[in-house]
């Protein structure tokens, strides 16, 4: 009997990357599934056989077990993190945690397991074109991307725990890097096996950059523990093209656009270095949208230093996400930091203003890197439209 047979789950926030994946897996494991969201997102594609309500305010019908996204804390029900823990407890799991590279490393592991015939299930907080969906429903290993931003990864029972790296990124949740290090150490110690500080992968990869060689190294170490020899993993590793908004490349005539989720200084530096590696000798322009007031306040100097490695920098205002504004904290802090690092940036408060500015300046042969975790993801489409005129 499927592990969730005869249960009925209603997901509040089903259009998000996380809950849409949980809904797919819950349905595959025998549950009846439905949910609500404010808008119809791309993550709802393929969920047409579920009962989905689109409305301005949360819809919660009676007779269902309610699972609630962290975006709707005022709605009663099982928190997203608790439901994920329940799912992970039902299958031997490889859980990937860490500050950077979680989505890519998780996707690499799931892709190799699938391509080598091991029929994995997976839950990934990003789109993965080569996997088709953000949730897989196979009968083998369950491969899960964990999240430290709300500490939920630390409750997940991993057979193989993977820690990609540890840096303080969520300043409103952790008091210090030392506290975060302790949490990861305790979590990985409870696993049957742990992967940490894996050597970078030295084989062929389609993904550019030293950070992706490190992601692949962690994936290979986990795969070996899961029974996949390195030589068997090598061909699919060389074929893996990446996840959504992780160095996602498109073309606008003679201009190359790279869309990347990078929002932390280390991620920005890695994305810029990867662009230099992939496109040597070409002018690199970066459009950056700071994400969260707390992160911007604490890391403005480091963000500026990372951005200064580009040839041309445009900065928008802060994307607030879940945070309330903080007096004195705007994208201008990053602008000042870029200037202090020796590069003269452009301050364009909105994404639309930034697109107009870049469309007027960009020339054939340029590479434009769009970086950030907020609604700056609209910029590549807007730029393609503008540059096509």
With 90 as the cut, is the pLDDT of residue 238 above it?
A: yes
The two three-digit tokens of residue 385, written as one number: 């439209």
With 90 as the cut, is the pLDDT of residue 172 above it?
A: no
To the nearest 10°, report the CA torsion of 20, 4, 151, 80: 50
Share of the chain above pLDDT 90, in %: 94
Residue 319: which pLDDT band, with cuts at 50, 70 and 90? very high
DSSP for 134-200, please give it: SEEE-SS-EEEE--STTSGGGG---SEEEE-------TTT-S-HHHHHHHHHHHHHHSSEEEESPPP
Q: Where are the alpha helices (DSSP H) in the chain?
A: 17-28, 80-88, 102-115, 177-190, 210-225, 230-239, 265-278, 293-307, 332-340, 351-361, 379-387
Going from N- to C-terminal start, the domains of the chain cover 8-79, 91-239, 248-387
pLDDT score of 291? 97
The two three-digit tokens of residue 179, written as one number: 């506290």
354-368 tens-digit pLDDT: 999 999 999 999 999
Strand 65-68: give its sheet, edge to edge.
51-54, 32-37, 8-12, 65-68, 78-79
CB 110 within 8 A of CB 143: yes
Task: Write phi, then psi, for 346 (nearest 5 degrees).
Answer: -105, 135
135-171 tens-digit pLDDT: 999 999 999 999 998 899 999 999 999 999 999 999 9
- The domain 8-79 is placed in CATH, from the list 3.90.70.10, 3.40.50.720, 1.20.58.1880, 3.60.20.40, at 3.40.50.720
CB 162 within 8 A of CB 99: no
Could you please state the CATH topology (level 3) that the domain comprising 91-239 is classified under: 3.40.1190
- The domain 248-387 is placed in CATH, from the list 1.10.230.10, 3.40.50.850, 1.10.645.10, 3.90.190.20, at 3.90.190.20
pLDDT score of 71? 87
The two three-digit tokens of residue 302, written as one number: 């480091």
- Counted residue by residue, the chain has a size of 389
The two three-digit tokens of residue 280, written as one number: 């040597």
266-304 tens-digit pLDDT: 999 999 999 999 999 999 999 999 999 999 999 999 999
The two three-digit tokens of residue 331, written as one number: 């994208």
Kindly state the DSSP code that residue 20 receives in the 8-state scheme: H
DSSP 3-state helix, strand, coil percentages of the chain (rounded to 5)? Answer: 35, 20, 45
Handedness of CA 107, 110, 111, 112 (dihedral sign): positive
pLDDT score of 82? 96
210-222 tens-digit pLDDT: 999 999 999 999 9
């Amino acid at each position: 009997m499927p592990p969730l047979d005869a249960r009925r789950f209603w997901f509040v926030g089903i259009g998000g990357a996380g809950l849409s994946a949980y809904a797919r897996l819950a349905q595959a494991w025998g549950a009846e599934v439905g949910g609500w969201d404010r808008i119809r997102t791309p993550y709802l594609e393929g969920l047409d056989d579920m009962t989905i309500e689109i409305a301005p305010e949360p819809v919660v019908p009676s007779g269902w077990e309610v699972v609630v996204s962290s975006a709707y804390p005022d709605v009663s029900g099982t928190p997203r993190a608790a439901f994920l823990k329940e799912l992970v407890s039902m299958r031997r799991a490889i859980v990937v945690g860490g500050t950077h590279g979680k989505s890519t490393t998780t996707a690499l592991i799931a892709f190799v397991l699938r391509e080598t015939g091991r029929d994995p299930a997976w839950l990934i907080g990003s789109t993965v074109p080569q996997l088709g969906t953000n949730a897989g429903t196979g009968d083998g290993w369950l491969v899960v991307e964990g999240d430290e931003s709300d500490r939920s990864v630390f409750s997940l029972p991993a057979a193989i725990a993977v820690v990609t790296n540890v840096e303080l990124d969520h300043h409103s949740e952790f008091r210090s890097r030392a506290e975060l290090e302790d949490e990861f150490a305790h979590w990985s110690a409870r696993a049957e096996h742990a992967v940490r500080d894996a050597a970078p992968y030295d084989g062929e990869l389609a993904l550019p950059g030293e950070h992706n060689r490190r992601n692949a190294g962690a994936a290979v170490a986990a795969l070996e523990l899961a029974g996949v020899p390195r030589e068997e993993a090598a061909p699919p590793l060389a074929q893996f093209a990446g996840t959504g908004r992780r160095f996602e490349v498109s073309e606008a005539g003679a201009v190359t656009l790279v869309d990347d989720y990078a929002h932390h200084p280390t991620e920005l530096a890695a994305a810029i270095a990867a662009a230099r590696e992939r496109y040597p000798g070409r002018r690199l322009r970066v459009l950056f949208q700071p994400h969260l007031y707390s992160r911007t306040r604490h890391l403005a100097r480091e963000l500026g230093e990372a951005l200064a490695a580009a040839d041309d920098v445009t900065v928008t205002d802060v994307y607030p996400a879940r945070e309330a504004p903080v007096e004195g904290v705007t994208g201008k802090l990053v602008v000042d930091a870029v200037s202090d690092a020796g590069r003269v940036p452009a301050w364009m408060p909105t994404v639309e203003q930034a697109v107009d500015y870049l469309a007027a300046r960009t020339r054939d042969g340029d590479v434009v890197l769009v970086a950030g975790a907020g609604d700056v993801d609209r910029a590549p489409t807007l730029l393609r439209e503008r540059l096509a005129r």
